[in-house]
Amino acid sequence: PPSHNLEMKHLPGADPELVLLSHRYEELERIPLSDMTREEINQLVQELGFYRKETPDAPVPEEFQFAPARPLPTLQAPAADGKTPPKRVEGEHPEL
């Protein structure tokens, strides 16, 4: 079954790899797939957080619309009063 936000492109002569992109289509990471079995690739996609749809046209639950996107790590310095800034809420996507 297809995964949401996952697109497969066959490039003749190229070694297979998984290219992870940001919501702005900036390359984040390349993962070589040539030494992996289909089962290992499916497990990797699941571990990365891609949502697997029942059918190609099945609706995607709201909480998985941006999956597998994760919030960016906070790189803020402590506030002037010395207190640590609040942590981000799980599932929050400030970059969107």
> CB–CB of 31/43 below 8 Å?
no
pLDDT tens per residue across span 10-62: 899 999 999 998 888 889 999 999 999 999 999 999 999 999 999 989 999 99
pLDDT on residue 66:
86
C-alpha torsion sign, points 3, 49, 91, 31 = negative
Q: Whole-angstrom Cα distance, residue 64 to residue 70?
A: 11
Domains of the chain: 1-72 (3.40.30.50)
77 vs 12: which has the higher pLDDT: 12
pLDDT on residue 8:
86
Task: With a cut of 60, say whether residue 95 has pLDDT above it.
Answer: no
pTM (global) more than 0.75: no
In a 13 Å sphere around the CA of 77, the CA atoms on its Cβ side amount to: 2
